[in-house]
């Protein structure tokens, strides 16, 4: 998807995906981060933001009901205050009901060498809860974009029972080229889960950037894909183009992989936490000596 600051145009694109999904027999449709709006800066996101029971999200919920789909709305600007939003990943049932909401925990505050600078925390309030959404499609580990770089979160989701990891994103071009695919495959392999990675792709708001700024348009990496628990990419988007990526998920394969290579039962938290505790004690001891 290539979202823009035209919220109505974005809605029409999502509706077209819903229609196509229904005709293809899809049960779960996953949309990328910023599916409803992607503007030129933080202030535009704040102005655009709405409550989850507001008119725009209600329209999106109606799409789920109309087309009888579970929909992962992968990153909506949820209004919190007049200065802050939450990056909310909303799971909606085929009845049009919001069944789970995950608010992005890890915020994208980076200065990419020879690339973009971005400070998501300047306008976004981080979440504080890990969310597993239990649906007839499977047990969904719900995350957003930059979370991908924090394997601890996905380990927790696996131990909570996750079978499918949802990782919607608007990855930058530079970081996407370097890290997107390898991180997605790593999360699939280490958790032995399916990964569904919806993505923004291409240049956004080209005409507005040309008319209103001297900056080049924001560009997203794309490469939406579906990965199985062995780390195999089983479906992938056409390079550089928006569109649906469809695959059938065989949870029997997941069970087989977890049985033949039972890594979850081989974890040694007793050793990991002991090592961390020992390191902490050693650090405290050094601090005490330094103050004597």
Catalytic residue among 34, 61, 86, 145: 145
Give residue for tokens 């996407």: 176
Residue entry with tokens 């919001």: 98
The dihedral built from the CA positions of residue 269, 101, 128 and 200, taken in this order, carries a sign that is: positive
Strands 98-103 and 109-111, by their bridges, are unpaired
33 annotated active-site: yes
Helix (H) or strand (E) run with residue 270 in it = helix 269-291
248 is catalytic: no
Helix (H) or strand (E) holding 94: none
Q: What are phi and psi of 200, to 5 degrees?
A: -75, 150
Catalytic residue status for 145: yes
Q: Which of 30, 78, 104, 225 is catalytic?
A: 104
Between vectors from CA 57 to CA 52 and to CA 59, what angle results, nearest 5°? 150
Measure the CA–CA gap between 125 and 229, rounded to whole angstroms. Answer: 32
Catalytic residue among 18, 30, 33, 61: 33
Q: What size, in residues, is the chain?
A: 292
Pairwise CA distance, residues 175 & 168, whole Å: 15
Question: Which residues are marked as active site?
Answer: 33, 104, 145
């Amino acid at each position: 998807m290539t979202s823009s600051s035209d919220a109505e145009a974005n809605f029409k694109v999502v509706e077209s995906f819903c229609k196509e999904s229904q005709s293809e027999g899809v049960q779960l449709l996953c949309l990328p981060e910023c599916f409803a709006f992607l503007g030129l800066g933080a202030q535009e996101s704040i102005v655009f933001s709405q409550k989850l029971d507001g008119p725009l999200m209600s329209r999106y919920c109606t799409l789920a009901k109309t087309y009888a789909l579970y929909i992962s709305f992968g990153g909506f600007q949820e209004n919190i205050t007049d200065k802050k939003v939450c990056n909310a990943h909303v799971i909606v049932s085929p009845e049009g009901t919001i069944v789970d909401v995950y608010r992005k925990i890890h915020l994208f505050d980076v200065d990419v060498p020879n690339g973009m600078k971005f400070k998501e925390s300047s306008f976004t309030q981080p979440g504080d809860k890990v969310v597993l959404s239990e649906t007839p499609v499977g047990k969904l580990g719900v995350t957003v974009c930059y979370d991908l770089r924090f394997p601890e979160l996905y380990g927790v989701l696996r131990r909570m029972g996750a079978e499918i990891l949802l990782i919607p994103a608007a990855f930058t071009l530079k970081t996407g080229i370097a890290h997107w695919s390898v991180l997605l495959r790593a999360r699939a392999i280490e958790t032995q889960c399916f990964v569904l990675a919806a993505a923004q792709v291409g240049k956004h708001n080209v005409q507005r950037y040309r008319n209103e700024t001297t900056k080049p348009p924001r560009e997203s990496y794309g490469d939406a894909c579906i990965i199985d628990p062995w780390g195999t990419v089983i479906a992938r988007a056409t390079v550089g183009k928006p569109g649906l990526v469809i695959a059938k998920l065989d949870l029997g394969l997941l069970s087989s992989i977890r049985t033949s290579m039972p890594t979850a039962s081989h974890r040694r938290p007793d050793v990991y936490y002991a090592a961390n505790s020992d390191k902490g004690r050693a650090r405290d001891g050094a601090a005490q000596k330094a103050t004597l």
